[in-house]
Every structure is written in structure tokens, then in C-alpha cells.
Structure 1
Amino acid sequence: MKKTFLGLALVATASFGTAAAQTSITGAGASFPFPLYSKMFAEYKKSASVDVNYQSVGSGAGQKQILERTVDFGASDNAMSDESMKDAPGKLIHIPTAIGAVVPSYNLPGVTTPLKFTGKVLADIYLGKIKTWGDKSIAALNPGVTIPPLPITVARRSDGSGTTYVFADYLSKVSSEWKSKVGVGNSLQWPTGTGAKGNDGVAGVVKSTPGAIGYVELVYAKQNKLTFGSVQNRAGTFVVADNGPAAAAALGVVIPADTRVSLTNSANADAYPIASFTYIIFYKDQKYGNRTEAQAKALKTLLTWMITTGQQYNEPLDYSKLPTNVASKAKALVNSMNYGGKKL
């Protein structure tokens, strides 16, 4: 995804009943679903004559902006914790819109066979313990593959990132050392690496740097024609990220009513292990600030479309559709929206 694509802005007008109300539906947050949301919002304009302004600024910024009520919705690849929501001025709701996969992409000239990675090897690379591609732990996973002994350039996010959260969440489940030394978060104290902003930024570092490795959402790896490896799942199988294995991750966990759950290292034997929902976050009670009921209804209509009709755009862009049980929970959450206690 070229950085210029991040400048995409769509402005909205919505009509309700016999009166037309000028509205501007705005959202900000995760770069992880940006290619999908760009397509969704372009198609939504065609069918509903309503546009949406979405700024791809990272999950951390999306969470911050919805807390500050400067946008209609925030977007994040990780659900906000109870602690992070405790100071919110109202009850926040999360709905998943897609499942995506985070892949270890790399730049190794001459290597045409996709490499295999375990969680431990990925953790050790990002801990700075494995410094070259000629390391014996990488070679042991890839017998018969000639790997140039280049130094490893670790690429990682510099901004508050849901993709970082998902990747670190996975590493914390498979590496006790990572869990104790680095942990999980949108922003981390990295032991090593070159920082870049957004999934497109990390993809750019990998693409331009022989010997680089970076974690990016699957669609960014594909759009940038980056090679990415398979990752060993909990069942011991090396799985290449794709729609099916990413969707299978949701079948290996219990989905709570509020849908806030981690999908990494899923118990499903067919699952890709670094998968995640990506969420839209909004207020249950839409009556705040200068918001009108028309604005609230416009947001509800958009969200309903995203988890129903809009799902047709997920798989062509390398995101998994919501499983039926998850979609039904998301619909119930959207239907719980109100305006000053009045059901929308």
C-alpha cells in the first residue's frame, strides 16, 4: 500500500425520512483493515450515497480519538481492555468487522522456498538473540533451503499499533522470555529493530532492505509482493496465512457476548496462529456533544451494512469474513445503540 493511499478521505451526506441531514461520518485508527475499509466505504457510497472519512493512523490513535470523542468511531485490531476504557465518558462497544492475519515477511534474495518459523524463533529474532539468517535455529526448520547468511534487519512499528499488539500477544503465548521481557501492548520497549509507521511503513522497510524481516498484515505483504513464511500453530503444523486458516482461528476460542477476545495461538488444529479480529469501537449512547439523532442513525446504518452486505468484500482483499456466530453477536451489539436512552 503506497503511503499516498493513506490520504484517501471520504466525506458523508446521509438522508433520513423526508428530511435530508448533512452529516460527516468520521473514523480513525488501524492500518490493518485500511485496504478493506477503503473498498467498503467506496462501495457504500455507491449504494447508499453516503461517504465515510477514515484516517489510517494506527490502533493506538484510534483508541485515543474515540476516548476523546473526536471521531464517530475508532478502529483497532486489539480490543480495548477494561482498564483502558475506565475513563471513557460513556459505555464503549466493540464489533469485529473482519479477521486478518499477521505474517512474517522477509527479503532474502535468491530464496524462493517460503521459510518456516516457530514462535520461539520469531521471538528470538525480535529479542535480538538471532542476528543472522545463517543461524542454526532457522536452518534446522528449513532443511535443504540455501539461506544467505545476511545480517537480520528487524523491522517493527514505531507508532501505537494493533498489528504490534497482535504480534506481541502471540509471542507472549509461545515465549516466556518475550512475555517477561517485552510483553504485550500497542507500543513496546523494543529490544532491537528499525521502526516504521503503519503496516505500509514496515512493508516498505522489508521491501527495500535485503536481509530484513517485518510483521505486516497479509494484504500488505501481498500488495507489496513480499515473501512471507509459514508459522507453526499450537497443533504443531506449519500454516501459511490465508482466509481459511485465519477464519479457523475464531473456531478455536470462545467468543464472548462483547466479542473482545484474542484469536492468537488458537486451539483449532487448522488455524493460522497469528490472527485477529479487527474492531470498530463506538459509544452505546450516541447522544453526546453536538451529535444529532440523524448522525447516530447514520452510524448505525453504516455499521449494520459493514457486518452484513459489506462482508462480501472481505475475502477478495485477503480478510476472512465473520463466522455466523460472531456476526450475530456483532448485530446484537449494533442493535443495542441508543440516543439518550431511545432505541435507534
Structure 2
Amino acid sequence: MNHAPTQNAQPLYPFAALVGQDQMKLALIINVVNPRVGGVLIRGEKGTAKSTAVRALAELMPQQKAVADCPYACDPRDAAAMCAACRARLSAGQELPVATRRVRVVELPVGATEDRLLGSLDMESAIGEGQTRFQPGILAAANRQILYVDEVNLLDDHLVDALLDAAAMGVNTVERESISVSHPSRFTLVGTMNPEEGELRPQLTDRFGLCVQVGGLSDPAQRVAVIANRLAFEKDPARFVKAHAAAGRAIARAIAAARRLLPKVQAGPEILDRVVQLTLGLGVDGHRGDLTLLKCAMTMAALDGRRAVLRSDVDAAALLALPHRLRRRPLAEMDFDIAARIRRI
């Protein structure tokens, strides 16, 4: 399978060339291996490679087969996850046209309207002609892709609610009057934000599976490496991309292998006990944190090539799945430095 960079007018900065920000890179990889983890919220000031990492990771994703003329890019091998139109064509004995495509990064603009996000129904046609005409939105284009929401904290809350609902259910439903249209909307959700520009409501933050805090690198050698890499990329992008191609292919192979292994990963009773021990010990409310923590730990085991989850997987996953779920004072900073507390539990 070819994982070479897409032929763009300007090559993208390689994921493998990103210096530091290990938790952010791990959280992104976990979510493309297992979108059921529920997405990742990346918090940090501008200039910390948030958007660069998202776009670069898409270049390493395995190509996917899709129904060529379907607006939702349905998987031709998965009838259960298809849209109603593709299922009807299959039931009628039609052969679906298949295309092989790269995974795309679909961006949600801050100024997007509800119709632009969800799609819109032509009510005049529905009432006058008895035909339901649906104009797909961003959630349709995002099916089986990466949905990237920059400055998610600046979106209207009802739009954030809608995209989080679609991320959780894997389906987008648009209802107007007595008419309803649904379509598959399974995507890897990545939200980025600068906390200095305002926080998300805690109820919304909690619905992101993972959350990481990124900042400027404090290690002098790493900062020098960032400058040197950027200058080398600007001087000769094609050569720089080629120099990091082997490392990128290794990451791509790890993602593909983890996806294949993930369904076989098992978590024993002692692992479930450790999950609950951590969530209770850290004061996490509700059960979403327990489930996300377990899914994250299972994905980390798959990335490590194992079929059994270890206690160390759970403890490492807690650093990604729990900081934004800890009880805190309103507007207080999230506690991302919880490693010592985890060791004491």
C-alpha cells in the first residue's frame, strides 16, 4: 500500500519531523487507530504545531475504498454502516462503483451555520412535490475522514453539541417539521483551542474522549531542532519530506497493524478494576471517563502489538483520558500533571 505524500502544490510538513509534543502525537494516533475513543481536544497557544500535526497525520493514513458516487464515501465492504441509498442499491442487486482514496482532513470553519454543518432539507420540494431533497453538509463530507475543528471554543455551543452527538452516535440526523433524514457520520474528531481566548463549557469538554495540553518547548536542544527543521523544510520541501519518509512509513505501518489487532485485544477483570480504581481515586464523575479510559488503554496495547491490556496501559491512558474530567473550580486550569497522583492510587 502506498503511503507516499500526496502530490500537493506545497508538500505538507511531515508528522515524523515534529519535535516533542509526544502526548499530542500519541493522542492523535490513538484516535485514528480507534475513532471510538471519541476524539481529542488539543489545548495550547498558537504556534505549537497543533494544526500542522493534524494535517500531517492524514498523509500517513492507509488509503480507503469508498463508493465512488456516494456523498458519504460509504465503505463498499460494510453494508451495516452504509447510507440508505447505498444499501438500497445493494439490495436491488446493483454493483456499487468503487474508488480508492486518501483520508482527508475536513475542516469546520468557526463561522459555519447549522445548515452548513448538518446539511439542509428543501422543505418546498418536500411539501409541494412529495420528494425529500437533502443538501449534505460538513458532517456528510466528514464520514470516514478526520474532522478538524480549529478554535472549537469559539463555536456556538449548539454547533459543538451537534458535532459531538454525531461523533458519539456515528449518525447525523436532520429534522425539519415532520421530515427526517439520517446518514452515516463516523469520523475522527480533532478540536483545537487556545485557552486564552475562552474555555469550553465543562459539559462539552467532557465529551471529547481525550484531552492534551501543549505549549512551547522548554528544552533548548528541542527548540534548536524545531528551528533547524523548519528552515530545512522551507529551503527544500521535497528533500525534507523525502528525508523523513521512512519514519513516516513506519508510523503508517504501526497504525495499520494496530487497527488489525485492536478487535482481538482483551482486558481482564484486573484491568477493569484498575480503571475504576483510577476514576474513583481521581474523583471523576459519571461513567464516560471509565469507558474512554478502557478504550484508550486497549488501543495503546494494540499499538504496542499486544492482545492483552496491562496495568501500565491503563495508567498511561489516564494521562490522556482523565485530566479534563477531574473536579475543578470554575475557570481553573485543568490538572494535566497527574502522574504522581496515579502512582499513589
Q: Mark yes or no: TM-score above 0.5.
A: no
Please give the TM-score of this superposition, normalised by the length of structure 1: 0.24
Structure in which a larger fraction of residues adopt helix:
2
Bigger strand fraction: 1
What TM-score, normalized by structure 2, do the two folds share? 0.24
